[in-house]
């Protein structure tokens, strides 16, 4: 059944992510993880949801596969401008016990995005899925896979032994629960620049069942600026926490704030029941900054995606 994506659908999709994480975590696609689903749905559904169509496939009482097609739309940015998206992108997931549904997902996407350029990010570990995308005319994106490309890698570490976080003098940790919505949104906008994230988007994020204000961490500078921020998404079933997003104000970089914030966040997540942490970043050689930050606090690559496209 094809329809617009709903909050109830996202809960089903998160449940599938949890079930796959428990058995084959390397097969959870980059936009299909427990935290990414909450983050992407929460921040964008109010403004962009009219262009989000989905289809769900069930096996018995459980969701076995899903496709979330993001069709052409105009995205309003926080500087007052708009960006027109002319192609179609698919986020999707197939449970490995029902791998044959990959063809159904691909055929549905091709029909939903007929006549458009189509992009998708299957995981490199999903050999069967990659073969099926290729069989339907999708090819690796040379720009996306280049030295400055857009492919992402997922990094992980356990939380058994953590360093003590150290902030520069005058800086302190805050949570969004006590700093407030405006401060949380401003911290993100300062770190990421021109973005579609707004106060309305944050209210959507806060409304997702997975969001916890005590796991939304900020670093406050001596002058009151929120100099860094991250949201952590706790999957209680698998005792794992996912950082998404992570950002530092450009005027406060190279002070160790990101490192301290990650260590502090992992400590808070461990206290909340997590035993394992993940974070994604751009993996291409031309994007070393985030990868270096995460490697510096003990994360290591566990899997990556393969950008693929099909011309209009």
Say whether both 141 and 161 belong to one domain: no
Cα distances from 104 to residues 58, 111, 130, 286, in angstroms, run 12, 11, 14, 36
Residue 311 in any domain: the answer is: no
Q: Of 81, 116, 146, which residue sits at a domain end?
A: 146
Say whether both 224 and 286 belong to one domain: yes
Non-local (6+) Cβ contacts of 244 within 8 A are: 35, 36, 39, 230, 231, 233, 279, 280
CATH of the domain at 84: 3.40.630.30
pLDDT tens for each residue of 113-137: 999 999 999 999 999 999 999 999 9
Say whether both 137 and 209 belong to one domain: no
Say whether both 163 and 262 belong to one domain: yes
β-pair type (118-120, 88-94): parallel
pTM above 0.85, yes or no: yes
Say whether both 39 and 133 belong to one domain: yes
Residue 310 in any domain: the answer is: no
Domain, as residue range, for 237? 157-304
Residue 257 in any domain: the answer is: yes
Say whether both 127 and 174 belong to one domain: no
Say whether both 223 and 182 belong to one domain: yes
Residue 178 in any domain: the answer is: yes
Q: Of 125, 146, 167, which residue sits at a domain end?
A: 146
In the sheet with 226-235, reading across from the earlier edge strand, the strands are: 172-175, 216-220, 226-235, 240-248, 276-282, 152-158, 300-304
At residue 42, the pLDDT reads 97
Determine the angle formed by the axes of helices 199-207 and 34-48, rounding to 10 degrees. 130
Beta partners for 241? 234, 277
Q: In total, how many domains does the chain have?
A: 2
Say whether both 104 and 180 belong to one domain: no
Tell whether the model's pLDDT for residue 182 goes beyond 80: yes
Say whether both 177 and 114 belong to one domain: no
pLDDT tens for each residue of 96-108: 999 999 999 999 9
CA angle centred on 220, ends 219 and 221, rounded to 5°: 120
At residue 1, the pLDDT reads 52
Could you tell me the pLDDT band of residue 268, with boundaries at 50, 70 and 90?
Answer: very high
Residue 187 in any domain: the answer is: yes
Full DSSP string of 215-279: GEEEEE-TTS-EEEEEEEEEETTTTEEEEEEEEE-GGGTTSSHHHHHHHHHHHHHHHTT-SEEEE
Say whether both 185 and 284 belong to one domain: yes
Is the pLDDT higher at 144 or at 277? Answer: 277
Residue 312 in any domain: the answer is: no
Tell whether the model's pLDDT for residue 15 goes beyond 80: yes
Tokens of 271: 């206290």
Could you tell me the pLDDT band of residue 110, with boundaries at 50, 70 and 90?
Answer: very high
């Amino acid at each position: 059944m094809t329809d617009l994506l709903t909050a109830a659908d996202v809960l089903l999709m998160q449940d599938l992510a949890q079930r796959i994480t428990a058995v084959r975590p390397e097969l959870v696609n980059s936009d299909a993880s427990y935290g990414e689903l909450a983050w992407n749905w929460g921040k964008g559904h109010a403004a962009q949801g009219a262009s989000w169509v989905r289809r769900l496939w069930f096996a018995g009482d459980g969701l076995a596969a899903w496709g979330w097609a993001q069709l052409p739309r105009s995205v309003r940015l926080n500087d007052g401008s708009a960006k027109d998206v002319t192609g179609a992108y698919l986020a999707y997931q197939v449970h490995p016990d029902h791998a044959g549904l990959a063809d159904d997902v691909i055929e549905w996407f091709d029909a939903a995005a007929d006549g458009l350029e189509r992009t998708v990010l299957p995981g490199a570990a999903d050999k069967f899925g990659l073969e099926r995308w290729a069989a339907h005319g999708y090819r690796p994106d040379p720009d996306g896979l280049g030295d400055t490309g857009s492919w992402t890698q997922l990094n992980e570490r356990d939380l058994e032994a953590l360093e003590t976080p150290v902030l520069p003098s005058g800086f302190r940790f805050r949570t969004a629960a006590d700093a407030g919505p405006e401060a949380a949104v401003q911290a993100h906008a300062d770190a990421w620049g021109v973005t579609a994230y707004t106060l309305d988007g944050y209210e959507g994020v806060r409304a997702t069942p997975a969001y916890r204000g005590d796991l939304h961490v900020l670093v406050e500078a001596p002058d009151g600026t929120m100099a860094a921020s991250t949201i952590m998404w706790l999957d209680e079933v698998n005792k794992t926490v996912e950082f998404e997003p992570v950002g530092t104000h450009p005027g406060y970089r190279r002070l160790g704030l990101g490192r301290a914030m990650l260590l502090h966040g992992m400590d808070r997540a461990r206290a909340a029941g997590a035993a394992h942490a993940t974070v994604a970043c751009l993996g291409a050689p031309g994007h070393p900054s985030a990868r270096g930050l995460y490697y510096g606090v003990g994360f290591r690559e566990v899997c990556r995606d393969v950008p693929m496209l099909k011309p209009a």
